[in-house]
Amino acid sequence: MTQYRVVDAIADWLEQLGVQHYFGFAGGAIWPFMDALIDHPEMEGIQAKHESHAVHMADVYFRNTGRLAPVLVSKGPGLLNAVGAVASAMHDTSAVLVIAGAGSTHVMGKGGMQELYYKGFEDAVSVFRPVTKGSWMVMRPDTVIDVLNYAYKTAVDGRPGPVFVQVPFDVQLGAVELTSDALELPSTRTVSSRLRGDDASIAAVAELVRDAERPVILAGGGTKHSAGAAEALVAVAEQLQVPVATTLTAKGILSEEHPLSMGVVGRSGTDMAAAATRDADVVIAVGARFSDNHTSNWRKGLIYDVSHTKIVHVDVDSQEIGRNFPVAAGIISDAATFFNDLAASTTGAGGRWSPWLEKIETNRRTWLAKIEPVLHSKSDPIHPGRLCYEIGEALGPDGRVVIDVGDVIQYAEPYMTIRRGDAWQINAGMAEMSWATSGILGAVAADPRRAAIALTGDGAFNMASQILATAVEYQLPAIWVILNNHELGIERKGSDTAYHRTHAWTRFVRKDTGEPYNPDYVKLAEANGAPGEHIEHADDFAPALGRALASGQPYVIDVPIDLTIPTFFTEGVDRAYPAVWASSYPQHSSLRVAQS
């Protein structure tokens, strides 16, 4: 039997698991981990400049590969820096394994440097429990592989999500013996089958489809986590000739050039998609949460009207089914499996909805005519809608775009054409600024041959501009397109609409001169060792993007945008939030506040 340290066993476990990359940041509490990984050069370690960036990279890495890339962080502030990013992964269904160090068990509870001892000894597990699928501390050297296998299973089974495992310093260095030829891997503990709706439930959905006059399929972000779902969605939509809308996170799961695609439905989706979901008598929603932005804050009749629309809600997570709307059928099923079952149970039911499809097509022509002037706008500085459109056209068959948070979403959602599901990644749930700015490197590490563009605002980029140093250090050829408007555009426009004035924080202004302020992003790129360009004229953007894509280097494109362009909202929809406690909000509910 071979005797070695716990960290050696963990490093071997990672290698046998097939891990190719890991992310994180050095710290005293993980020195043993770092020492063990020196002996595993086949796994490339990418050190971010901040722990949250490392988690974002691992998050995007999983979205691109379906594989876990561990994140190693130290104790105290090191692991606390990762909390927000872990919450983002949790809210957006992305599997991340965070492994943290801790002080030695000998001194726990003594309040040593960086110990979270305020409510008990080393209590980081309690911090991570609300924002993960599972959170554990390993207290015995001989249980570490068992805990990691269970953590892995938890992260990837069903609805994916992040997990947290903390290993004290002395446990990391504990001597263990290998009792068999190889370490046990999570493949021996994980679920190999897919969730599937029962025959009666599928038959009930088939009956709803046959009786429908205005059916719509809604593909949500969960469909992206189901192998084969994109192909199964195309097959069932074409068989039935039913129009398809997507949520923001699933944009492109059905090519937006497909004749049955209506694009994204939601607060800033296409007019044609919202018109269809409002009028539909049956909506078959698969892997969708019916979130606030998607439903326009659940207000009756803006995106959905459940007084006349029957909703079929399909998800692997039973807790999401019926959370926000009543359902005619709630089915726990894998997305691809459900689409295939629906196709098998509705053979011969297609082609019945010609008047409905004619109406959809009329709305499509109206929508395309509406946005045509935007896509080819000649205004200088560039219209952000044109910029987003040109990014979509530049992606090619294999390119990817990662969308940051802010007004940039409201431009990319309606104006950018996405032709495959994995070409579009977004952090719409927790909506953490700088997620794309830093997470883009996870996409590039996963496959540096595929173009990867981070579309970000100046506010989000300013939060994580040190990502340029990481990109140059590891030669990760990401491209950052920065919408430069010297403000937090969505905050300024929203607060101005609500209160008719704005706080100084919404704009970036030098106190001494009163002039708009941002760093010189080209010089910032060059200072980090990357090329950059500043774009003044709309016609210069596409050529600059072409040069960036051809460069094979980290690249920054600084693009001042037309400040007169308002936030885009779907026709008839606005950003209104419930603000009057004494009045009920116009959403589906059984009760209303009584009015005297």
Considering only CA atoms, which of 134, 147, 144 is closest in space to residue 174?
Answer: 144
Task: Tell me phi and psi for residue 3, to 5 degrees.
Answer: -105, 130
Q: Quick check: 184 pLDDT over 80?
A: yes
Question: Residues of 174-207 as b/e, b for ≥16 C-beta within 10 angstroms?
Answer: bebeeeeeebebbeeeeeeeebbbeeebbebbbe
* Cα dihedral value 249, 254, 259, 263, nearest 10: 0
| pLDDT higher than 80, residue 370 | yes
7: left (phi over 0), alpha (psi -120 to 50) or beta: alpha
Q: What percent of the chain has pLDDT over 70?
A: 99
Instruction: Determine the average pLDDT of the residues in 320-344.
Output: 97
Give the span between the Cα atoms of 571 and 264, in whole angstroms.
13
Task: Please tell me the distance from the alpha carbon of residue 6 to that of residue 586, in angstroms, as a whole number.
Answer: 57
Q: Say if CB 203 and CB 323 are below 8 A apart.
A: no
Average pLDDT over residues 213-218: 98
Determine the pLDDT at residue 255. 98
For the segment 147-167, what is each residue's pLDDT rounded down to a tens digit? 999 999 999 999 999 999 999
SS3 for 129-158 is HHHCCEEEECCCHHHHHHHHHHHHHHHHCC
Output the pLDDT for position 591.
Answer: 86
Say if residue 32 is preceded by a cis peptide, omega within 30 of 0: no
The mean pLDDT of 323-346, rounded to a whole number, is: 97
State yes or no: pLDDT of 180 exceeds 80. Answer: no
Better-predicted residue by pLDDT, 348 or 32: 32
Share of the chain above pLDDT 90, in %: 87
Has residue 192 got a pLDDT over 70?
Answer: yes
Distance CA(465)–CA(500), nearest Å, equals 32
The pLDDT assigned to 497 comes to 87
**pLDDT for the residue numbered 486:** 94
DSSP letter at 505?
G
Q: How many CB atoms lie within 10 A of CB 594?
A: 7
What's the Cα-to-Cα distance from 175 to each of 5, 6, 99, 481, 514, rounded to whole Å? Answer: 5, 6, 19, 49, 63
DSSP secondary structure string, 191-255? Answer: --S-----HHHHHHHHHHHHH-SSEEEEE-GGGGGSTTHHHHHHHHHHHHT--EEE-STTTTSS-
2 falls in which pLDDT band (50, 70, 90)?
A: low
User: Whole-prediction pTM value?
Assistant: 0.96
pLDDT of residue 3: 65
| Both structure tokens of 475 | 């030669």
SS3 string, 375-428, reads HCCCCCCECHHHHHHHHHHHCCCCCEEEECCCHHHHHHHHHCCCCCHHHEEECC
Cα gap 13→182, rounded to integer Å:
9
pLDDT band at residue 371, thresholds of 50, 70 and 90? very high
Give me the mean pLDDT over the 376-393 stretch. 97
